[in-house]
Structure 1
Amino acid sequence: MSVQKEGAVAELVKLKVVGRIMDYLQEGHNEHVELLVMLLANLTTSDSGCLRLLQLDSSSLAGFNVAVLLRRFLDSAGEQPDPHDHTALVLTNITRLKEGRKLLLEPGRGMLQALVSQLSSPNQLRRSGCANALRNCCFRAEEDGTLGDLLEDTASLENILELLCGVTRKKESDAAVRNSLAECIEMLVSTEQGGQVLWDMKAPEMLRKGYETEEDPEVCATMERIAHLFLADSGAVEDTKAGEDLNVADEKE
């Protein structure tokens, strides 16, 4: 972001524009929604804008704005034109902060499932933004203390693996989105707890099959790193043949 843009964003945040946008959206107005959500996506490129949106200074309101945004984001899925697709970028932005990641993964809110549901959207911006938000959440999950919450939702993990690998359903068409999903798996496998959960889900076999049909070099490289992580841990797993099945890097010459 340019210095000039950073200054403009900072001034708008100081003027409480984030709160004004949310007040407008909460009142149910339909005019200029797309432009306002785009502005919100720009304002949350700054940490101060993210914190304003998260409302962490109020115990009674913390997370309320995000819940409202997410509800309208989900309710508008499939609309043409899509007035809320830039909400996906807002979600990417707030998950740069620990506070945002913890909020999205807080048990009982259902926000993780909401993000994963949009990975099947026909709108590329929705898929990309949600995949990046999930990647942000996975990168620091162990450090944030949210790893258990992520791994508990095996249905969401299954969806991520399916969209990445395309074993029983069509794989994600956008290579950048696939790579974000692969990086989610990479970060989870890099933890002892995450590696075990994914072993139990038979992720190595799914990834092997997905790798066989993967054509994008960057996605292939990420999947190879995942394979090496699984292989490094294969000695602790009873089914040692699964470790052999992961040796996809040698098969793809």
Structure 2
Amino acid sequence: MEELKELLQFLKSDSRLDLKAVALMQVLGLTGTEDGRRLIISCPDIISLIVLLCRDSSESVAKDSCLSLVNISADESSVPVLLAALENHASENSEGERQEIIKIMLNIIVNPSLGFADSACMVLSNMTRPTAYCVQVLERIEESGITLDTLVRVFCQMGYNKKGANLNYLGPVFSNLSQLSTMRRYLLDRERCVIQRLLPFTEYKDSLIRRGGIVGTLRNCCFDKDDHKWLLSEEVDILPRLLLPLAGPEEFDEEDNDKLPLDLQYLPPDKLREPDPDIRAMLLEAITKLCTVRENRVKIRECNTYVILRELHKWEKDRKALLACENLVDILIRTEEEIGEDEIDRVEVPSELIEKFEKMDEDYLKS
């Protein structure tokens, strides 16, 4: 601890560049181990100085500081320390604005000339992973002066960063924040058309991180049943975007083909399914949520969703995804008379049956 405190004087913004660089290399090395991270987290003054150095005039210093924060923020216990950083420091910028970690990360992300913007995205992704801190992070984003609209814009604008940063980790940030109803209200705002801009990334081949983040975001948005009808309408048309990654190269007869949404008709013989089983499971869970209300179940059946799921079930090897597929198929093949309720989530299931079904699911996944 004493050696760590000795680094404080060299991590100040006005320290000599060579001394800052050497001190940061030591810090970065420490963050690569669990014991080292714990040591740094126990020293809030070090954390504050690292955060401040992310906006250092030397890009190499700022980059190493941001990389250190990526490692530190991967430890959930660091998040409250990071959120509290700079509280006891003179941390105003040259314009007299109060600085804190979320605002500093956002400023890096929206700067198209900073090549380490991906590290800043990863810091936000790590900090929003624990649900308990999502509210604080979202509040600070809203107070930062950098709007959610701006973040969506830079995420969707391919090549926005001129130094090669891809900003893919904004996908998991959106997914983590969409656990909050406030974030979902923004994403599902019918005047903003945010969700429509995110839909194409369910098929983004170049990044599993971006793809998974957006599928997770869509899945979370499907928890709001009041928006299901709108999501399935032509205005959004979410169903083909959820089904397309689950579809393979199988050929269907003309009758089945004609019932499918246009985007799923006559797929090429080299069509590949989503390779990640967790993403496949999230896609299936999203469609299952959209089946909550009878009117929407009817529409999903009419789109011949079953034939895509039938072929997926033949192909699927992952237990979790297979179970998600079977749960969805079970809803779609039952008649509405068999279901007996307009809204599935209103069906009261005895607690002993819930426990029995959960145990059966666990046993199935383990088998």
Fold similarity call, TM over 0.5 = yes
Q: Which residue, 104, 112, 120 being the options, matches 1:20?
A: 104
- What is the alpha-carbon distance in structure 1 between the residues aligned to residue 86 and residue 124 of structure 2? 10
Distance 2:85 2:284 in 1: 36
Q: Which has the higher contact order (CA 8 A, sep 6+)?
A: 1
> Structure 1 stretch 111-120 or stretch 171-180: which is displaced more?
111-120
Equivalent position amino acid for 1:52 in 2: R
Checking the alignment, whether the CA contact within 8 Å between 1:50 and 1:93 is kept in structure 2 is no
1:245 is matched with which residue?
Answer: none
Pair 1:111 & 2:213 matched? no
What do residues 37-56 of structure 1 show as CA deviations (whole Å, max 9, x unaligned)? 22222333422102322x2x
User: C-alpha distance in 1, partners of 2:297/2:194?
Assistant: 23
Matched residues in 1 for 2:199 and 2:178: separation? Answer: 15
| Separation in 2, partners of 1:177, 1:227 | 18
**Residue 214 of structure 2 aligns with which residue?**
130
Contact (CA 8 Å) 2:230, 2:236: kept in 1 or not? no
- Secondary structure, aligned partner of 2:200: helix
Partner of 1:218: 320
CA deviation after TM superposition for structure 1 residue 31, in Å: 3.6
- The structure with the greater share of residues assigned to helix is 1
Q: How many residues align?
A: 228
TM-score by length of structure 2 reads: 0.55
Q: What percent of counterpart residues are identical?
A: 19
Structure-to-structure mapping, 1:30-45, within 5 angstroms: 30-45=114-129
Q: What is aligned with 2:228?
A: 147
Residue 170 (str. 1) matches residue 272 (str. 2): yes
> For the Cα contact (< 8 Å) 1:76–1:84, is it kept in 2?
no
1:99 aligns with 2:169: no
- The question of whether the paired residues in 2 share the 8 Å contact of 1:131 and 1:177 is answered with yes
Q: Does 1:72 align with 2:174?
A: no
Residue aligned with 1:222, SS: helix
Give yes or no for the alignment of 1:50 onto 2:138.
yes
Residue 79 (structure 2) pairs with residue 6 (structure 1): yes
Residue of structure 2 equivalent to 1:85: 168
In structure 2, runs of 5+ residues without a counterpart are 1-73, 88-98, 251-266, 340-367
Counterpart contact for 1:161–1:206, Cα < 8 Å: yes
Q: Decide which structure has the larger Cα Rg and report it.
A: 2
Task: Name which of structure 1's ranges 67-76 and 174-183 shifts more when overlaid on structure 2.
Answer: 67-76
